[in-house]
């Protein structure tokens, strides 16, 4: 009876962790979507809400970590259960940092507004990169919930496309910087591509962090550690 009771208690704890880490992923994806829509539509109140909402993401990450530590201390899980709890702490950390990147995009947008830059002529690859990042987050969590190694590997491979997009975008921005002719009173021709480069870097880093998540998911499922190329 004690073993059954303990197993049931552990299962309940693991279910709670699943629910919270899934909720965290949803919050992070929403933050990214809102940050990109705020940028495309020049919606400054939405950008401010993304920045403000980052604290809630941080708090849920800390809650998940505390719950994981409690499960490890009290339930003392073993084998696949132990791997799962440890991996959840890593996933929560990576998701929280993805939230930081989403917030970073909105912070850059608001910084541009503060500097009087309110007209962004072209976003180039930024929306496509953002859409790819969001899809990677969703599919990574699907692979987690379904214990799907094949899908996790597919998500990892998609990061290569993200890196190529970032490289293409960077080349365009550097060309804009090379051809910029700022005046003594207006250097926006330099600042705009610079800020957009920073935004793209945030998106590229999201791809890297989702890759980290998928590597941990594969370890959780198989017990074998493999690192993406």
Q: For residue 212, what pLDDT is reported?
A: 97
Establish if 199 belongs to a structural domain. Answer: yes
Establish if 105 belongs to a structural domain. Answer: yes
In whole angstroms, give the CA distance from residue 36 to residue 38: 5
In whole angstroms, give the CA distance from residue 222 to residue 229: 19
Q: For residue 185, what pLDDT is reported?
A: 63
Q: For residue 229, what pLDDT is reported?
A: 60
Q: For residue 61, what pLDDT is reported?
A: 98
Residues 6+ apart with CB under 8 A from 124: 169, 172, 173, 196
Establish if 229 belongs to a structural domain. Answer: no
Establish if 50 belongs to a structural domain. Answer: yes
The whole-model pTM stands at: 0.92
Q: For residue 2, what pLDDT is reported?
A: 47
Establish if 228 belongs to a structural domain. Answer: no
CATH number of the domain to which 89 belongs: 1.20.58.220
Count of domains forming the chain: 1
Express each pLDDT in 27-39 by its tens digit.
999 999 999 999 9
Q: For residue 194, what pLDDT is reported?
A: 93
Among residues 99, 101, 217, which one has the least CA distance to residue 156? Answer: 217
Mean pLDDT over the full length of the chain: 92
- The range of the structural domain enclosing residue 107 comes to 2-222
Q: For residue 184, what pLDDT is reported?
A: 63
Residues of the chain falling short of pLDDT 50: 1-2, 4-5
Establish if 106 belongs to a structural domain. Answer: yes
Establish if 227 belongs to a structural domain. Answer: no
């Amino acid at each position: 009876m004690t073993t059954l009771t303990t197993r049931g208690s552990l299962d309940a704890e693991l279910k709670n962790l699943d629910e919270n880490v899934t909720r965290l992923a949803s919050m992070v994806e929403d933050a990214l979507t809102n940050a990109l829509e705020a940028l495309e539509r020049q919606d400054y109140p939405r950008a401010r809400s993304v920045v403000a909402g980052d604290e809630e993401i941080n708090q849920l990450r800390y809650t998940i970590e505390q719950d994981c530590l409690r499960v490890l201390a009290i339930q003392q899980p073993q084998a696949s259960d132990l791997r799962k709890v440890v991996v959840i702490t890593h996933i929560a950390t990576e998701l929280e940092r993805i939230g930081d990147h989403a917030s970073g995009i909105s912070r850059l947008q608001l910084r541009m507004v503060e500097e009087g830059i309110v007209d962004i002529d072209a976003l180039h690859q930024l929306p496509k990169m953002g859409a790819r990042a969001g899809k990677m987050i969703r599919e990574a969590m699907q692979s987690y919930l379904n214990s799907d190694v094949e899908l996790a590997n597919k998500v990892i491979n998609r990061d290569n496309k993200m890196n190529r997009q970032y490289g293409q975008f960077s080349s365009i921005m550097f060309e804009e910087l090379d051809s910029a002719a700022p005046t003594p009173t207006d250097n926006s021709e330099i600042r705009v591509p610079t800020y957009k480069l920073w935004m793209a870097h945030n998106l590229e880093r999201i791809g890297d962090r989702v890759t980290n998540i998928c590597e941990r998911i594969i370890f959780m499922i198989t017990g074998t550690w493999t690192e993406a190329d």
